[in-house]
Amino acid sequence: MADPAVKRRSALFEIYRTGEFGDLVKGKAGVSICERHALSIIQVAAWKDQTDAVIATIEVAAGIKPSAEPCSAISSEDISAIWLGPARWLIVEKETRDLHAVIGADVTADMAAITDQSHSRCVLRLSGPQSRNVLRKGTTLDMDPGHFAPGDARTTSLFHMNALIHCLDEETFDIYVARSFGQSFYEVIIHAAAEYGYQVADRI
């Protein structure tokens, strides 16, 4: 944790403007966009023979139990554990503590490699009845409810950018892209959302 006087500066710092835009239907936005910032994003990559132990230890240390199920995510109000690959997860929460240290205290180097990726992603939350249609414009994944359901998390090409999409509920998605793509990503998302009317909300 840095000097609290120095605020983390998001990749969207220069361009993020809250408000309602595009073709609102009777004054209502079809999709709501907000940036999740500032986050702690910790990658845990377990040694294969330590997978079960690491899952159990993360649960105790961080308060979320990752799932070994491919393309899945476990989330609570405050924290998510998103499957990235065999024995590999991202643990994500709003930055309130040194999550890297918290996990690293219990998950030792002989159990897993832990890498801080907190600054490496630009994360947008899309919600609302048109959120799936916005995503359908950028990916060929099956975005129908029931085929991309709450608790699913997939890595795919989204608007030509590598993205991790986490479905939180029927109409809500967290989308992780590389930080350097942040501005391009934000621009293309609001462009795609304009025909449905969109709201840009305060960061959460």
Partner 1 sequence: MATQSNRLPGGGEIDRGKPLTFRFDDKTYTGFQGDTLASALLANNVKLVGRSFKYHRPRGVFSAGPEEPNALVHLRSGDRQEPNTRATMIELYDGLIAESQNRGKSLRNDPQRINNLFKAFLPAGFYYKTFMGPFRNTRLWMFIEGFIRKSAGMGAASGLPDPDHYDQMSRHCEILVIGGGPAGLMAAKSAAANGARVILVDDRADPGGQLRYEQYEIDGKKGLDWINETVAGLEAMDNVFILRRTTAFGYYDHNFIGCVERVCDHLPEPEGNKPRQRVWNLQAGHVVLATGSHEQPMVFGNNDLPGIMLAGAVRTYVNQYGVVPGKRAVVFTSCDDAYRTAIALHDAGTTVVALVDTRKLDSSYAQQLLDRKIRIINDSAIVSAQGNADGVTSVEVHSLSGGGAQRLDCDLVAMSNGWAPALHLFSQSGGKTAWDADRNIFVPGDSKQAECSVGAANGNFSLKTCLEEGSAAGAMAASSTGFNTAVQAVPAVSEIHESAYEPLWECPDPAKGHPKKFVDHQDDVAVSDIQLAYREGYISVEHLKRYTTLGMGTDQGKTSNVPGLAIMAEARGCSIPEAGHTTFRPPYTPVSMGALGGAETGEHYMPIRRTAIDSWHEEQGCKWIDAGIWRRPRYYPQSGETIRDAFIRETGMTRGSVGMCDVTTLGKIDLQGPDTAEFLERIYINHWMKLPVGKARYGMMLREDGIAYDDGVTSRMSENHFVMTTTTANAVKVMANLEFYLQVIWPELRVQVTSVTEQWSAIAVAGPNSRKVIQKIVDIDVSNEAFPFMGASGCVAAGIPGCRLFRISFSGELAFEINVPCDYARYVCEKIYEAGREFDIVPYGTETLGNMRIEKGHVAGPELDGRTTADDLGLGMMMSKKKEFVGKRLAYRDSMTGENRKKFVGFVPADGKTPLKAGAQIVVNENAAPPVEMIGHVTSTGYCVEHDHPIGLGLIRGGLDAWKDRVVYMSYPLRNIIVPMKVVSPVFVDPEGERLHG
Q: Which residues are at the interface with partner 1 (CB under 8 A)?
A: 1-3, 6, 8-11, 13-14, 22-23, 38, 43, 45, 47, 109-110, 112-121, 133, 136-137, 139-144, 147, 159-161, 178-185, 187-188, 191-192, 194-195
CB closer to partner 1, 76 vs 108? 108
Q: Of 172 and 184, which has the nearer Cβ to partner 1?
A: 184
List the structure tokens of 153.
């998390």
Handedness of CA 113, 116, 122, 127 (dihedral sign): positive
Residue 195 CB, nearest approach to partner 1 (Å): 4
Q: How far is the CB of 22 from partner 1 (least distance, A)?
A: 5
The residue among 76 and 132 lying less far from partner 1, judged by its C-beta, is 132
Select 77 or 109, whichever has its Cβ closest to partner 1: 109
Nearer to partner 1, 27 or 77 (CB): 27
| Distance in Å, CB of 117 to partner 1, minimum | 6
* Residue at token pair 């989330």: 75
Q: How far is the CB of 98 from partner 1 (least distance, A)?
A: 9
Centre a 10 Å sphere on the Cβ of residue 152 and count the other Cβ atoms it contains: 18
CB of 96 to partner 1, least distance (A): 15
Burial class (CB in 10 A: 0-12, 13-18, 19+), 79: middle
With contact defined as beta carbons under 8 Å apart, do 44 and 100 qualify? no
- Shortest distance, position 26 Cβ to partner 1, whole Å: 13
Closest to partner 1 by CB, 76 vs 142, is 142
* CA-based R_g, the chain, Å: 17
- Strand bridging mode 31-35 / 198-200: parallel
